[in-house]
Amino acid sequence: MPLPPAIRLTGKGRRWRLSGHPWIYRDDLAAEPDLAAGELVRVESPRGEFLGQAFYSALSRIALRFVTFDSEAVDDNFWAARLDNALALRARVVRDTDACRLIYGEADGFPGLVVDSYAGHLAVQVLHPGMERRLPDLINLFKVRLAPASITLRQDAEVRRLEGLPLEEVQTVWGNVPDPLVVQEGPVRCLVDIRAGQKTGLFLDQRENRLAAGFLARGEILDAFAYQGGFALHLAAGAKKVTLVESSAAALAMAQENARLNGIANFEPVRANVFSFLKKAVQEGRRYDVIVLDPPAFAKSRRDRPAALKGYLELNRRAFQLLRPQGLLVTCSCSYNVREEEFLDLVRQAAALEGRQARLLERRGAARDHPALLSLPESLYLKCLFVEIF
């Protein structure tokens, strides 16, 4: 294989790299290189010392994403070994489900690649030109090592634009996806729409939180931002009634089918904006024993922070208004731009403003098949707090 072209960092870039962070920002390149997007480059310090190999990005503010800090050949064997590592981790940590994330970008050494498996049907998302170039080889590798029932490319994620990658029609490039496709999540069966569902079909990062919440079900429950009923399905067995609030008609229709599939009758789906629903529920004097708040990321960038914090505060205040004594709040935020400490403080504030004393039962994050690289704080995005009214 030809040697990769070299790129030099500034002194600051070198120090950043030595801190272990797997990205280099464009400002930290010594000079703007004349390279095509997705090329593998050899990264050097200002004095030419070797610092690793990385994918180059021509557009993004993140100019380099490290593939390895070593000088090994980045070839088919390299990626096969990385895949084996990723699979070994899942074999250790994933239990009682046939739906999980097999490859999670940087945390598995595949920058810009996500692969989820739903009962052996793979959903693949490519978010970097470096991976896009290697996609045909990777698909072959997946066929050989994973013997998947099907492979579907979800190249329709908006974030692809940041890297100049085109948004494409969803494509099943291998095998067939059954309709319906059903997976098992602990005691619950869930329908998955790999081709049109949000993300790659399910919010797999919340799996362990859904399972943990299931144990605490009781009385009347509100699942706000319900999607296809993820939390509600786990909570229904122990509840008198579960009300689901969701704005997407398609997601809510799937939630109803999920209820049927699991023989659940105490399901009340409501198509509404959660903010207006909660306001009205307070006005009508409704009460709940458990409330789940799992909103989409309100703070996609730092600029969105003030509005996002306001949104989270309103939701959590409403929840405290609606909870019965000893009621449980499962409150989540998947905004990386709102840190865990900040989110905790926001929930504390919401309780105080509503004159309620609350105690923290659990601080949770993403499921173990979604590991976060400690050197990449951006990967620590999901917060899920279990808070009980005292």
Q: Is 256 in the site for ligand SAH (CB under 6 A)?
A: no
Q: Could you tell me where the beta strands, DSSP code E, fall in 69-164?
A: 99-104, 113-118, 121-126, 150-153
CB half-sphere exposure, 158, CA atoms < 13 A: 3
Q: Is 246 in the site for ligand SAH (CB under 6 A)?
A: yes
Among the listed residues 282, 280, 339, 286, the one whose alpha carbon sits nearest the alpha carbon of residue 312: 339
Buried b (16+ CB within 10 A) or exposed e, 154-175: bbeeeebeebebeeeeeebebe
**What is the total count of residues that contact ligand SAH (CB under 6 A)?**
20
- From the list 190, 332, 334, 384, the catalytic residue is 334
Give the whole-angstrom CA distance, residue 123 versus residue 222.
30
Comparison of 220 and 246: residue with beta carbon closer to ligand SAH: 246
The least CB distance from residue 61 to ligand SAH, in Å, is 27
Tell me which stretch binds ligand SAH (CB under 6 A): 1-9, 170-178, 267-275, 368-376. 267-275
Binders of ligand SAH among 159-198, rule CB under 6 A? Answer: 198
| 334 has catalytic annotation | yes
Of 55, 79, 225, 386, which lies in the binding site for ligand SAH, with binding defined by CB under 6 A?
225
Q: Is 369 in the site for ligand SAH (CB under 6 A)?
A: no
The contact mask relative to ligand SAH for 282-311 (x = CB under 6 A, - = no) is ------------x-x---------------
Q: Is 251 in the site for ligand SAH (CB under 6 A)?
A: yes
Comparison of 56 and 203: residue with beta carbon closer to ligand SAH: 203
Among the listed residues 67, 153, 160, the one whose alpha carbon sits nearest the alpha carbon of residue 108: 67
Of 191, 254, 274, 389, which lies in the binding site for ligand SAH, with binding defined by CB under 6 A?
274
The least CB distance from residue 282 to ligand SAH, in Å, is 16
Comparison of 17 and 364: residue with beta carbon closer to ligand SAH: 364
Of 171, 172, 247, 256, which lies in the binding site for ligand SAH, with binding defined by CB under 6 A?
247
Q: Is 381 in the site for ligand SAH (CB under 6 A)?
A: no
Give the whole-angstrom CA distance, residue 91 versus residue 88.
5
- C-alpha angle 312/318/322, rounded to 5°? 145
Q: What's the chain's length in residues?
A: 390
Give the whole-angstrom CA distance, residue 389 versus residue 387.
7
Q: Is 380 exposed, middle or buried (0-12, 13-18, 19+ CB in 10 A)?
A: middle
Binding site for ligand SAH (CB under 6 A): 198, 203, 206, 210, 225-228, 230-231, 245-248, 251, 273-275, 294, 296
Catalytically annotated residues: 334
